[in-house]
Amino acid sequence: MDMPVLTLSVSAQLDDLYLIAICHRRGIKSLRDLTPEHLPLLRNILWEGQEAILQRYQVRADRLRVFLHYLPSYYHLHVHFTALGFEAPGAGVERAHLLAEVIENLEHDPEHYQRRTLTFALRADDPLLTLLQEAQKS
């Protein structure tokens, strides 16, 4: 089974704890690639990540926000673990998808992330926004 690697990303302060689990497995670029085949991996990231954080930082699972970005900042599966009170960049509803909900969605609908319309915000200067606007004109 693919074991994630937990890497300290921003801060070791408990109030603004921010860790990222990076999956060893290649080929899972984003939420769109996830299927029920990935459920053991996703559950492992959630449970083992929460346990590692409890052991190292004494922060319980109910004090964590565990999520994936869509669109991701880089196209290799990674999961964010943040302190619940920390307003981490991209932790808002327009970009963050809670890992527990991702797991539940895949349990109920194997093609959830292939079929679902996923909305996301783009900055005004984002090159993707320009491409989308140009495509709408054609």
Q: Which residues are catalytic?
A: 78
Structure tokens at 125: 């200067």
DSSP 85-115: T---TT-STTTEEEHHHHHHHHHH-TTHHHH
User: CA torsion 51→53→71→74, rounded to 10°?
Assistant: -110
DSSP 51-62: HHHHHHH---GG
For helices 39-57 and 99-108, give the axis angle rounded to 10 degrees: 160
